[in-house]
Structure 1
């Protein structure tokens, strides 16, 4: 009977608009929630069939489906914390429950989020106030990120900030930029050696010294300048023992005057004329010394009247503590130490998949990949289809309050109209009942 189908259609309208009202209420309630992605309700007609003649028609009604618009994010809001993170563009931050980390679960469930305010907990792990632990790939001791699998979360580990640990870095390379006075290699020169000391750091963070002397070769009276020097290097950590001796000659031609012409190894590591390197065996292990390549620029030169140590570059640092940490746009976690050095300790990837809107929605603005979302891939932030990781920022709610209030008015009117259908059908059925009176 068409009156009965009209009644059912009115009831379906009430149910559908109630569903939409729930989604609108959720959106408005989370208008101030960081990282919230709004829910949207769509209506779909239900057709039960219509007659071919005689004006007969049976109302099918309406049904509602609600989906989460995960790919539609909000604007970014600046903050004062370097570990407040947001994603600008595509991709999601990998997180896991701090409860699973504390329980030492072997393979914790990877969840995804677009923003979070992470702070170190008692163990140094970066954890949000909702109990989400930031995950990343750990760096090696030299600060490089190995080639981890990109389609599995097994290689991810909690990002840990060790502010209470002491860290030192041994010196492994040293570059000298020194000018030797050309006048000291002439026949009437005094032949006085020039010396310099260079600090380096051992494996245990101790400060050690390389003492380097440059002794000119003085020719006999009336002979031309020798342009030759003997460089001797001693190591304080080895009790002052000589670890390298080299005979240096310099070019005096019009085009290349002052540059290295030849280097002869007397003792110590062999000199490479192409790179300008020689490997010295200090007490703690090998140290790469660069004095300049043959025919190249920089390194050791012989010009003019003055002995001038122009440039000394070396790596390594004394023992220090971590003072701060920052995460750059590519997801690299950089630790800053009291000694002035910076070290990469981890990399936070961005996770992407074919259909992000197909992920399951969980509490606290997190999502879980499903079969509907497709398999995920972990990208370096700023590459592929992903955006960048922005520190000192949070993502605001994607709710447009003005639009939600407009939808609220429309939903209220539609709900009232559906209720009116039920009231009208009730009155018509009452008239049918009155026929018997």
Structure 2
């Protein structure tokens, strides 16, 4: 029994070390494969019971060698170093988590259910149909944004809300103006007796709902007294040059005391505007809310009684700063992804519009995931259930654009293990050779 069991143990040792050699070979072969997770072999002993052996410690007459068995393991949770690239949609995760993907074959076949797969990194690019995918066919999944760029609430413990990321590369988009900040200094001496009452006009560009460039005029007319000191009062008339009608007029009185001198003291509405335009002033926010019929714009002039955007000082008329948001119509020029996982379409005007949010997938036991081709993985009973986190929240790491995760293979360590495995394989071969010689000696006893 001892000789034959020794032979079986030696054979199992050869098989075990051959498996170990296979993982080492795979690790070295994939040392330059982005997102590759190092494989290894777990050795465990195999005990064979012998009924003739008393079940007491040290009381057996024979030892039966069981040998060794192996099981393959992948260190999926281990993270490789992040390498910087020049492609904005080269995506990796700095920290724990994986990206949700599916196969392009299932996307193209509308009747096929799309399998959920996970990967740690990927060099994604748009294909002829606009899908964001890798060269190996992994298609990125995400939550689609609303038309205004907001992300709806989707289930976090299931993949039902995820859809393949598809980009309309021939799209044209604009961002209508919704805010204007008006900073103007009006000359104080023009509200004094004898002034000629010259109307001062400040203009700014804004973009309408169709992306066209329009002009908004702010006309300041001084109130000139016939006697006494200066009135410190101006009439502000807002004119939408697109329609040529007034969007409202206001009496603005400035402070001439030592407390907040030259700042707005009060604002009184004189006219609500000419249809279809209208406006109102909110003293608590210091903003004029304009409705141009099909577009709402807020004009910030400052809260009366404090530091305001409008001033009246003895100086020349000066448009200190007039800023507005919004951009005109532009064509699609590329994609960007930020640390929050928001994938945005970028247009030729510089306008950026969110189109998807890419979540970070996590499971309780990441090493329990089923290993698939192309550095991808699938949920299994051993891995535990899926949960989708916002990038950078909870235990999830942050999504990084212009980055790829490198292989977790350490060549020096693999070569060291290669030498050890070779020695172990040779030793097991020696066992078989020795058993062969012992059997030969037994055979020779009959001669």
Contact kept, 8 Å, 1:327 with 1:334, in 2: the verdict is yes
SS of equivalent to 1:383: coil
Closer, same or farther: CA 104–310 of 1 in aligned 2, 3 Å:
farther
Partner Cα separation in structure 2 for residue 167 and residue 317 of structure 1: 9
Mapping of residues 378-389 of structure 1, within 5 Å: 378-389=388-399
Partner of 2:160: 154
- Asked if residue 354 in structure 1 is aligned to residue 364 in structure 2, the reply is yes
- Asked if residue 373 in structure 1 is aligned to residue 383 in structure 2, the reply is yes
Closer, same or farther: CA 311–298 of 1 in aligned 2, 3 Å:
farther
- Asked if residue 111 in structure 1 is aligned to residue 111 in structure 2, the reply is no
Contact kept, 8 Å, 1:218 with 1:225, in 2: the verdict is yes
- Asked if residue 265 in structure 1 is aligned to residue 304 in structure 2, the reply is no
Partner Cα separation in structure 2 for residue 22 and residue 54 of structure 1: 37
Is there any run of 5+ residues in structure 1 with no aligned partner, and where? none
- Once the two structures are TM-superposed, the CA of residue 78 in structure 1 deviates from its matched residue by 2.4
Mapping of residues 48-63 of structure 1, within 5 Å: 48-49=48-49, 51-52=53-54, 53=59, 55-63=61-69
- Asked if residue 202 in structure 1 is aligned to residue 208 in structure 2, the reply is yes
Deviations 1:183-234, CA, capped at 9 Å, x for gaps? 111122111111122221111112222222111111122x221111111112
Partner of 1:16: 16
- Asked if residue 190 in structure 1 is aligned to residue 196 in structure 2, the reply is yes
Partner Cα separation in structure 1 for residue 25 and residue 163 of structure 2: 37
Partner of 1:211: 217
Deviations 1:95-115, CA, capped at 9 Å, x for gaps? 111112222357522211111
- Asked if residue 344 in structure 1 is aligned to residue 354 in structure 2, the reply is yes
Deviations 1:118-177, CA, capped at 9 Å, x for gaps? 111112221110011112222333333333322222222233333321111211222211
Correspondent of 1:170 among 160, 169, 176 = 176
**Alignment: residue pair count:** 435
Partner of 2:344: 334
Partner of 2:276: none
Partner Cα separation in structure 2 for residue 402 and residue 416 of structure 1: 22
How large is the Cα RMSD of the aligned pairs?
1.9
Contact kept, 8 Å, 1:237 with 1:282, in 2: the verdict is no
SS of equivalent to 2:289: strand
Is there any run of 5+ residues in structure 2 with no aligned partner, and where? 273-278
Contact kept, 8 Å, 2:174 with 2:351, in 1: the verdict is no
SS of equivalent to 1:270: strand
Contact kept, 8 Å, 1:178 with 1:308, in 2: the verdict is yes
TM normalised by structure 2 equals 0.92
- Once the two structures are TM-superposed, the CA of residue 54 in structure 1 deviates from its matched residue by 6.2
